[in-house]
Amino acid sequence: MKRQLQIKTSTGLAQSEWNGGGSMPIPPDDTWIFVDVTDRPDNPQVGMTYDAATDTFGPAHVIVRTIVTPSQVISVLTAEEWQIANTSTDADVVWGMAQFQLAQRIDLADPQFAQLMSGLVSKGIVTAARAAEIQSDLMELANA
C-alpha cells in the first residue's frame, strides 16, 4: 500500500499520514515535506528517523532491552552453578536466590542484579569472567 508521511517544514513534526486513498489530508505546498513511507524492503525511510534541521534520514534510535525472565536466566547457567547457588547456606546467596525466585522479570540494568552477580563472584560460585559471559548471554536474550 502506498503511504506518505506529511511533515511540517518549520517544526519537523509529522502531522498527517496519507494512505493513497482519496484526497490528501493536507494540501501540498512549500511548508510541507512529503515522505514516501510505503512498506517495501527497498524503502530507506522505513525504520529511520527524520532530522528536520538537515532534512535527512538517519538510523533509528537503538533501544537496548534489559528485561529477562527467570527461565532465561536459568537457561544460561550450568546445572552445577544453579545447584551451588540454590543449595548455598550463605545468607547473602540465600537472600539473592529468594529475590530471584520471587521475580516475574529481571531487569539486567537494576543495581540489585549487579549486586547479585558481584555476590556470586565474591562467594566463589562463578568467576568474574563467567559472570561477564552470563551477563552478555542475558543481554543477547533480552534483545533477541
Q: What is the pLDDT of residue 19?
A: 55
Q: Whole-model pTM?
A: 0.59
Q: What is the pLDDT of residue 31?
A: 59
Report the distance separating Cα 76 and Cα 117, nearest Å: 13
The total of other beta-carbon atoms located within 10 Å of residue 7's CB is 19
Report the distance separating Cα 40 and Cα 35, nearest Å: 14
Q: What is the pLDDT of residue 40?
A: 47
Q: What is the pLDDT of residue 60?
A: 64
Q: What is the pLDDT of residue 101?
A: 86
Burial of 85 (0-12, 13-18, 19+ CB in 10 A): buried
Q: What is the pLDDT of residue 32?
A: 56
Report the distance separating Cα 135 and Cα 66, nearest Å: 10
Instruction: List the chain pLDDT tens, one digit each, 144 residues.
Output: 445 556 655 665 555 555 555 555 555 555 555 555 554 445 444 556 666 677 666 766 667 889 999 999 999 999 999 999 889 999 988 998 898 889 999 999 999 899 889 989 999 999 999 999 999 999 999 988
Q: Which three cell numbers stand for residue 123?
A: 562467594
> DSSP for 40-102?
-TT-TTTTEEEETTTTEEEEPPP----EE-HHHHHHHS-HHHHHHHHH---HHHHHHHHHHHH
Domains of the chain: which residue ranges? Answer: 4-59, 67-142
Q: What is the pLDDT of residue 23?
A: 58
